[in-house]
Structure 1
Amino acid sequence: MSLKETDGAIVCAGRVYCDLIFTGLTELPRLGEETYAKDLAVEPGGGGFITAANLSALGHKTMLLASMPGGPFGSAILTKMQRSGVDLSLSPFDHSNGAQVTAVIGCRDDRAFLTKRNGTAVPRDMLQTFSTSNARHLHIGELATLQELPELLEIAKAAGMTISLDCSWDENCLLDDRVQNLIAQVDLFLPNEMEAEHLGYLTDPANCPTLTIVKKGKAGATALTANGELTVAAEPVKVVDTTGAGDAFNAGFLSSWLRGADIQTCLQNGNKCGAAAVTRIGGAP
């Protein structure tokens, strides 16, 4: 996209992973034993990209600000990423980059992850270009990205962007005393239920430093607002793979929120996108 074409775009930031998604298991592997999956898929992953791809499918101009996996892992997912409609100009592909891989082990209604990160969450030499992109909104796909690059907040605010943040489970991040201050600086925080509980938001919603949307999987989602709580249940669907469902929810919620819809409508559309994601392999459409 040219500078003019990026006017009003949504920038999604955070590492991209090559997701190796194992499905069809009835239980998680146990130490000392071997478990066999029914199927294996290779998909682009990472909260930033999955949210961007879903926003693109909803008709929004989206850009990705991300460090890409290198070597065969990047090559395995690059074509699918290019077909997503997301502008990848802020996320240059470099074969020499190290591996960024997530093994996703899907088991019935839940899953486990094993991930290898590498280098910085986003390419620092792209921050200046990002600052002049004329984008309207920044979505940060994982708390670890913001913790590593808090200057994203300053850049986005100086450019007049609104900011949203997913959590993405990382115990080291959640135990850091500085995370509450970082969360307080965004306009919208989107943790899942376990993350929100870990931060103390479920036992005392008054602890929430900003508008917080708690994703609860098949139970729907709850908005913790200054006026109290609002929960919208999700419609039941047949679950194929839950990878990226929360990131897809983010896209549905943001799509409505950025258009000025009320919170109930935002929750409903978030639930719809999250439900659609679990009916396919991988979180991106």
Structure 2
Amino acid sequence: MTPVRRPVVVVGDVGIDVLTRSRVPIVPGGEATADIALVPGGAGGNTAAWLAAHDVGVSLLARIGDDYAGHAARSALEAVGVRCVFAVDQHLPTCVVVVLVDAAGERTMLSDRGANAAFRTADVDLDQAAGVLDRAAPGLPHLHVSGYVLLDDGSREAGLAALAGARERGWTTSVDPQAAHLVAAVGADTFLGWVRGVDLLLPNEIESEALGGPEAVLTSVSQVVVTYGAHGARWFTADRDERASSPTVECLDSTGAGDAFNAGLLASWLTDGDPVRALAAGVAAGSAAAAGLGARPPRAPATTP
């Protein structure tokens, strides 16, 4: 019998990535040939798409602009089975991120959050988001929040409202801090105050360090999973430290690898609650993302009748 996973409501950014891989070294003030593609992105959209790829019922709460990028972002998500519960901003554009990928697959991002920064508490309708999910999935939904929502002054109140609403409904919750430099700017104590009571925090190694390390994080949340790139991941609780190693892969593009890790881990954890299996599933998903281009799962090629 195929296991059925609890569904997930994601709160996070949605947008379009301008994925750029230079073919030659970049010289300031010069010109370089590059491979450039417009691909769907945004941390919330990425995690939701990877969850759908794991056959998890998933809906996404976000804000987009009333423009081509917003329509494209919605279409790309709906095409892979994500239920989109979007507010449409009549003034701000949809988020666009320029992603510069180097020869080692590491990325540098130039971000315009656009309508994501205007995500408001009025946009947080958890009951609607839960209502569009697959009702065949047993159990209460799980809420996953992208840290970008909390780290932006404009959208923070909405992110906190989503976490509070989920707790009131008895849902489990998780947060990915997303950006170490932004965590450092607001301060570890402040960020940990925002996520106090969350079931699972999902930082990478640099974000964990910005928060004071796993022991400090565990004073505010029940469990913390730290990713270490090619060195795997660890699951910490007050009395447990589980580890998973990463397979050897050629990293073509690290964009979205953390979002994919989150989805793989949650898909497993929301099935049977086993940290060891969840770590392995997260590492496998993150490694698969790093081995491809773009932040979303690869689409199967269309077949001709």
User: Shorter-chain-normalised TM-score: which range?
Assistant: 0.7 to 0.9
Structure 2: how far apart are the matches of 1:37 and 1:224? 45
Tell me by how many angstroms 1:26 deviates: 6.6
Structure 1 residues 154-163 or 90-99, which shifts more? 90-99
Match of 1:154 in 2: 164
Tell me by how many angstroms 1:41 deviates: 1.8
The residue identity in structure 1 corresponding to 2:245 is: A
Tell me by how many angstroms 1:170 deviates: 5.5
Pairing 1:105–2:100 present: yes
Pairing 1:125–2:130 present: no
Structure 1 residues 109-118 or 138-147, which shifts more? 138-147
Pairing 1:68–2:80 present: no
Aligned with 2:260 (options 243, 248, 273): 248
Cα distance change of structure 1 residues 190 and 129 upon mapping to structure 2, 3 Å threshold:
closer
Q: Any gaps of 5 or more consecutive residues in structure 2? A: 132-139, 298-305
Structure 1 moving runs of 4+ over 6 Å: none
Cα distance change of structure 1 residues 269 and 37 upon mapping to structure 2, 3 Å threshold:
farther
Q: Are the equivalent residues in 1 in contact too, given 2:183–2:211 (CA < 8 A)? A: no
Match of 2:32 in 1: 36
Cα distance change of structure 1 residues 245 and 218 upon mapping to structure 2, 3 Å threshold:
same
Q: Are the equivalent residues in 1 in contact too, given 2:183–2:210 (CA < 8 A)? A: no
Q: Any gaps of 5 or more consecutive residues in structure 1? A: 1-6
Structure 1: how far apart are the matches of 2:91 and 2:80? 24
Cα distance change of structure 1 residues 170 and 34 upon mapping to structure 2, 3 Å threshold:
farther
Structure 2: how far apart are the matches of 1:84 and 1:165? 23
Output aligned runs, 1:52-63, within 5 Å: 52-63=48-59
Tell me by how many angstroms 1:244 deviates: 0.4
TM-score w.r.t. length of structure 2? 0.81
Match of 1:4 in 2: none
Q: Percent identity?
A: 30
Q: Are the equivalent residues in 1 in contact too, given 2:6–2:56 (CA < 8 A)? A: no
Q: Are the equivalent residues in 2 in contact too, given 1:71–1:97 (CA < 8 A)? A: no
Structure 1: how far apart are the matches of 2:67 and 2:108? 25
Pairing 1:190–2:188 present: no
Match of 2:16 in 1: 18
Tell me by how many angstroms 1:25 deviates: 5.2
Tell me by how many angstroms 1:59 deviates: 0.8
* Length, aligned pairs only: 274
Structure 1: how far apart are the matches of 2:82 and 2:250? 28
Tell me by how many angstroms 1:264 deviates: 1.4
Q: Are the equivalent residues in 1 in contact too, given 2:166–2:173 (CA < 8 A)? A: yes
CA RMSD of aligned residues (A): 2.5
TM-score w.r.t. length of structure 1? 0.86
Cα distance change of structure 1 residues 272 and 234 upon mapping to structure 2, 3 Å threshold:
same
